[in-house]
Amino acid sequence: MAKSLVKNLNEMMEFPREGIFSKVLVKTDTTNHTLMCLAKGSDISEHTSTREAAVTVLKGKGTFVLNGKKIKMQPGVLIFMPKNAPHALSAEEDLAILLSLSGKEKE
C-alpha cells in the first residue's frame, strides 16, 4: 500500500542549463508520477508508452505533438494519452510538467 505524500512542486523545480531534469515523486505497482523540468530549447523525440499517461503543464511554454496534432503547452494544460499513442514535445522556454503514468507496466 502506498504512503501519503505531500510535495510542493514549485519548490522542487530545477531547470538545467540544457537537457532534462526529472524526479520520480511516487511509484506504485500501477502508477508513476514524475516531475520533469526541460531547459529552453530541449526536445523529447517521438516515442510511445505501454501505459496510459497524463501530462500537466506546471510552468513555461512549449509544443506537444500527440498523434501528429500540435498542442500548445502552457500552465494549466492537461494532456491525456492512451497507451501506444505516438507523442513528442519541445520546450520553447524553461518548461515544467508533471507526468503521470497509470496501468501495470509491461514485463
CB atoms within 10 A of CB 49: 18
Residue 69 C-alpha cell reads as: 496534432
| Mean pLDDT over each residue of the chain, to the nearest integer | 94
What is the reported pLDDT for 3? 82
Q: What is the tens place of the pLDDT at every residue in 30-48?
A: 999 999 999 999 999 999 9
CATH assignment of 19-102, given 2.60.120.10, 2.40.160.60, 3.40.50.720, 3.20.20.80? 2.60.120.10
Cα 29 from Cα 46, distance rounded (Å): 26
Q: What is the tens place of the pLDDT at every residue in 3-22?
A: 888 999 999 999 999 999 99
